[in-house]
Structure 1
Amino acid sequence: MTTTRHELLQAFDQLLAPGRFKDYGPNGLQVEGRATIRKIVSGVTASRALIEAAIHAEADALFVHHGLFWRGQDGRVTGWMKQRLGLLLGADLNLFAYHLPLDAHPELGNNAQLGLQLGLVAHAGPAGRFGEQELGFLGAQANGEAFADAQALATHAEAVLRRPVTLVDAARRSVRNIAWCTGGAQGYFEAAIAAGADAFITGEISEPQAHYAREMGVAYLACGHHATERYGAQAVAGQVAAQLGLVHEFIDIDNPA
C-alpha cells in the first residue's frame, strides 16, 4: 500500500502534537521529497550514514529524532550540511524529524520506550512527570521492587542498553524512586532531585552533575545519548506505518556518544 506525503505528515502530527512544545528546531517535514510513500526508514539522527542507508533500503521517507536544522546554527549550506541535503534531494527522499514531541509521547516516545526497556513504569498522573515541559518521567520498577543500590541499577542498564554506564553514587542506598529523561537531559537533574528521585537516568553527564549527586545523595547514571534514544523513533514510525499500511524498517547507526 501507499499513502501521500501530506497524509503521512498528518499522521505524525496527530500522534505527536508538535504544537504543544517549545523546541530547538522545526518539527515535522524538514526536507520535501516524493509525494507518494510506500516505505519509511526510522533512525535516531539524520546523519549521512543513515541517509545513505535509507536510500539503499529504497525508502520514500526517513523519520528521525535529530533532524538537520537547529535554532542558532550556521544557515549556510556547506560541508556536512551540503552533503546530507544533496543526498536527500538527489534521492527525492522525505525527511521527517520530531525532537521534544518524540521524547514526550506517553506510550511511544523515547522516555516511555526507555522505561519499557528497563522495566520501569511512571507513576500515575502528574506524579509521573517532572522538569521543563514535563518531559522527565518519574516512577519505579514494574515489579514494585527496589534495586539494592545504584550499582545494581547501572548493571541492569548496561545489560539492557549494551554499553557502559557512567555512575556517580555517593549514598550507597537502595533505589526505588527512579527519574529518567533520555539524551542530553543532564540539566534536568536538579528537578529530578526536587521530585524525590533516588536515582536519575539520562544520556550524558556534565561537570556539575557529579557534585550534585555527591552532595544530595542522589545517584546519577549517564547511559549514552544515542543508546537511550534508540527506541522512540522506531516505535512511532512502526505504529504509523502499520496504521497506514506502509513498510517500515529501523536502521541503527552506532554512535558511542
Structure 2
Amino acid sequence: MAVALTTLIEEADRYLSAGKIHDYCPNGLQVEGRPQVGRIVSGVTASQALVDAAIEARADLLLVHHGYFWKGENPCITGMKQRRLKALLKHDISLVAYHLPLDVHPEVGNNVQLALQLGIDVEGPLDPANPKVVGLLGALAEPVSAAAFAARVEQVLGRTPLLVGSDRVIRRVGWCTGGGQGYIDQAIAAGVDLFITGEASEQTFHSARENGVAFIAAGHHATERYGVQALGEYLARRFAVEHQFIDIPNPV
C-alpha cells in the first residue's frame, strides 16, 4: 500500500495542529521526495547517520522531531547541511519534521509518551497560565525515593540519568522533555517533588537543592525518542503503510 505524500502531510499537520503553533523551525514537509509513500522511517534527529539508515531501509519518507532550517542558523547549503540534503534528494526521500507540535500533543506528544514509559499519571500542564510552557504535571501511584525512581528511568531509557536530591521522597512530578531545564522554576512553583527533563544547566543544580526538589536530567535524545515513534505508528495505521523507528544512539 502507498499513500500520496500530500495526503499524508495534510493529515499529520491536522493531527498535530502544526499550523497553530509558533516554533523555531518549519514544521511539516521540509524536503520533498517521491510523490507516493509506502515506507516511513522515523527517528529523533535528521543526522547524517539517520539519513543513511533511512536510505538503507529504502524509506520513502523520513519522519523526525529535530529537522533542519532552525531560526538563526546559517542558511547557506554548505558542509554538513549540503551532504545531508544531497543524500535525501539523490534518493528521493522526503524529510518531515515536527518540533513543538510533537512535544505538546496530548496523545503522541513527547511529554505524554514519556509519562507512559515512566508510569506517571498526567494531571495537566506544568503552568496553566502560560501556554508557552510545554511541560506537564503528574503523580506517581505510590511515593518512592528519588533514587528508586532514577533507577526506573535508567531501566526504561537505557542510560544513567543525572540525579540531584537522591534522598527525596517523590509523588508529584513535573517534566519537560529535551532542553526543558529552564522550566524548573515553574515546576517548583507548582509544588512538585521531582522535576525531569533531558538536559541540565549549571544553575539547575542550585535551584533544585535550595528549593528541596529532586531533579533528573535523563538526556535530550533519550527523553524524546517516544513521540516520533508514536506519530509514525499513527500514520502507519491511518494509511496502511510500513513504519520503522531507527534509534541513532546519542549520549546527550
Q: TM-score range by the shorter chain?
A: over 0.9
> Aligned equivalents of 1:160 and 1:202: distance in 2?
15
Q: Is the 8 A contact 1:2 1:37 kept in 2?
A: yes
Question: Which ranges of structure 1 fall in alignment gaps of 5 or more residues?
Answer: none
Aligned residues: 252
- The 3 A distance-change label for structure 1 pair 191 and 126 is closer
Query: Is residue 157 of structure 2 the alignment partner of residue 158 of structure 1?
Result: no
> Aligned equivalents of 1:121 and 1:129: distance in 2?
17
- The 3 A distance-change label for structure 1 pair 126 and 189 is closer
Q: Is the 8 A contact 1:21 1:133 kept in 2?
A: no
Question: Which ranges of structure 2 fall in alignment gaps of 5 or more residues?
Answer: none
TM-superposed deviation, 1:220: 0.9
Q: Is the 8 A contact 1:111 1:180 kept in 2?
A: yes
> Aligned equivalents of 1:252 and 1:173: distance in 2?
33
> Aligned equivalents of 2:125 and 2:223: distance in 1?
23
1:203 alignment partner in structure 2: 198
Deviations 1:154-182 (A, max 9, x none): 11111111101101117x33101001111
> Aligned equivalents of 1:53 and 1:29: distance in 2?
19
Supply the AA of the counterpart residue of 1:217.
G
> Aligned equivalents of 2:154 and 2:130: distance in 1?
25
Q: Is the 8 A contact 2:125 2:134 kept in 1?
A: no
TM-superposed deviation, 1:20: 2.5
> Aligned equivalents of 1:76 and 1:122: distance in 2?
42
> Aligned equivalents of 2:125 and 2:246: distance in 1?
34
Q: Is the 8 A contact 2:34 2:93 kept in 1?
A: yes
> Aligned equivalents of 2:210 and 2:98: distance in 1?
36
TM-superposed deviation, 1:133: 2.1
TM-superposed deviation, 1:232: 0.5
- The 3 A distance-change label for structure 1 pair 89 and 126 is closer
Q: Is the 8 A contact 1:62 1:96 kept in 2?
A: yes
Query: Given the two structures, how large is their TM-score scaled by the length of structure 1?
Result: 0.94
Query: Is residue 86 of structure 2 the alignment partner of residue 86 of structure 1?
Result: yes
1:247 alignment partner in structure 2: 242
Where 1:200 maps in the other structure, the secondary structure is strand
Deviations 1:80-136 (A, max 9, x none): 10110000110110000000100111111111111000011111x557868652411
Q: Is the 8 A contact 2:173 2:194 kept in 1?
A: yes
- The 3 A distance-change label for structure 1 pair 105 and 12 is same
1:136 alignment partner in structure 2: 135
Q: Is the 8 A contact 2:16 2:101 kept in 1?
A: yes
> Aligned equivalents of 1:235 and 1:101: distance in 2?
13
Q: Is the 8 A contact 1:128 1:139 kept in 2?
A: no
TM-superposed deviation, 1:153: 1.3
2:169 alignment partner in structure 1: 174
Supply the AA of the counterpart residue of 2:134.
L
1:58-73 alignment, distance < 5 Å: 58-73=58-73
Where 2:142 maps in the other structure, the secondary structure is coil
Q: Is the 8 A contact 1:129 1:135 kept in 2?
A: no
TM-superposed deviation, 1:73: 0.2
> Aligned equivalents of 1:72 and 1:167: distance in 2?
33
> Aligned equivalents of 1:235 and 1:93: distance in 2?
21
Where 1:138 maps in the other structure, the secondary structure is strand
TM-superposed deviation, 1:236: 0.5
1:217 alignment partner in structure 2: 212
TM-superposed deviation, 1:146: 1.1
> Aligned equivalents of 2:14 and 2:23: distance in 1?
17
2:56 alignment partner in structure 1: 56
State the superposition RMSD in angstroms.
1.5
Supply the AA of the counterpart residue of 1:44.
V
